[in-house]
Amino acid sequence: MNHGLKEYYVYIKGVYKRLSRFYDVTRPVLGLLRRKVAALTDMGDGGNILDVCSGTGGQAIAYVKDGREVVGIDLSPEMVDVARGKAVNGFSLAVADAANLPFKDCCFKLTVISFALHDMPHLIRAMVLREIVRVTVPGGLVVVVDYSLPRNRVLRLLAYSFIKLYETRYFSGFVRSGLEKMVLGERVRVIASYPALLNLARIVVGKKS
Ligand SMILES: C[S@@+](CC[C@H](N)C(=O)[O-])C[C@H]1O[C@@H](n2cnc3c(N)ncnc32)[C@H](O)[C@@H]1O
């Protein structure tokens, strides 16, 4: 593994080891968004869901509340411990690397990644997106929720400067690439894209062919 990637794994595990106990302070801000994501991507067939980089389980639990079975994976054992502590039926968890998912091809009806792609260097991000598409069934949904800054230049600069104060070192590289472009791939067609959090985030829904 090259030095930059090794450094990423050490850095990101350290960040979330420290943040795990406090991460759920984001709940009041993100709670409504989680429910919106679950409602917008309800396929009405009860199929299984993979939440990649599930953190403390906020998005996964919103799907479970809608009656879905969810598997969550995250690199940080401490974040997984907090999620496990919530003891939610229908939500199982594992510590794993999203760039090398421990699942066979085509086994989830919906794969979601929420507020995690901005925490990765470009190379890892591309690997993670490839893995997400690999494990999703043909015709299944790929759902990406993450930062997406406003188009207005002044608002964009203000939002960027503010978010950069608390975000990880990969955020700047991430916001330069458009979220829809990232999701779009040979095997995924973007079928919907919704603004969220006062235009500071987007919910992008892709369909695997
Ligand atoms: C900002 S948190 C988001 C957590 C959750 N998805 C949410 O919406 O609240 C980012 C999460 O991505 C995880 N993460 C970062 N890189 C990862 C990787 N390569 N594999 C698995 N998890 C990763 C971190 O450990 C952290 O829990």
Q: Which fold has domain 3-208?
A: Rossmann fold (3.40.50)
Question: Are 128 and 117 spatial neighbours (Cβ–Cβ below 8 Å)?
Answer: yes
Start-to-end Cα distance in the chain: 32
Q: Whose CA is nearest to atom 25 of ligand 1?
A: 76
Mean pLDDT calculated for residue range 81-103:
96
Taking the centre of ligand 1 as the mean of its atom positions, its distance from the CA of residue 24, in whole angstroms, is 13
Q: How confident is the model at residue 4 (pLDDT cuts 50, 70, 90)?
A: confident
Tens of pLDDT, residues 13-66? 999 999 999 999 999 989 999 999 999 998 777 789 999 999 999 999 999 999
User: Which long-range contacts does 101-107 make (Cβ < 8 Å, 24+ apart)?
Assistant: 101/50, 101/52, 101/73, 101/131, 101/132, 101/134, 101/135, 102/73, 103/50, 103/135, 104/135, 105/134, 105/135, 106/134, 106/135, 106/136, 106/137, 106/138, 106/140, 107/48, 107/135, 107/137
What is the structure's pLDDT at 181?
80
Ligand 1 atom at minimum distance from 8 CA: 16
Pairing of strands 70-74, 91-95: parallel
Per-residue pLDDT of 105-143, as tens digits, reads 999 999 999 999 999 999 999 999 999 999 999 999 999
**Integer Cα distance of 136 and 13 in angstroms:** 26
Contact 82, 24 (CB under 8 A): yes
Closest atom of ligand 1 to 79 CA is: 27
Take residue 139 and report the two structure tokens written for it: 């015709």
Task: Return the residue matching tokens 């700047």.
Answer: 172
pLDDT digits (tens, 9 = 90+) for 156-208: 999 999 999 999 999 999 988 778 888 778 799 999 999 999 999 999 999 99
| Ligand 1 geometric centre to CA of 74 (Å) | 6
**Could you tell me if 68 and 48 are in contact, meaning their C-beta atoms sit under 8 angstroms apart?**
yes
At 148, the pLDDT band (50, 70, 90 cuts) reads: very high
Task: Report residues whose beta carbon is within 6 angstroms of any ligand 1 atom.
Answer: 12, 16, 53-55, 58-59, 74-76, 79, 97-99, 114-116, 119-120, 124
Distance 139 CA to ligand 1 centre (A): 25
Q: How far is the CA of 55 from the centre of ligand 1 (A)?
A: 5
At residue 185, the pLDDT reads: 80
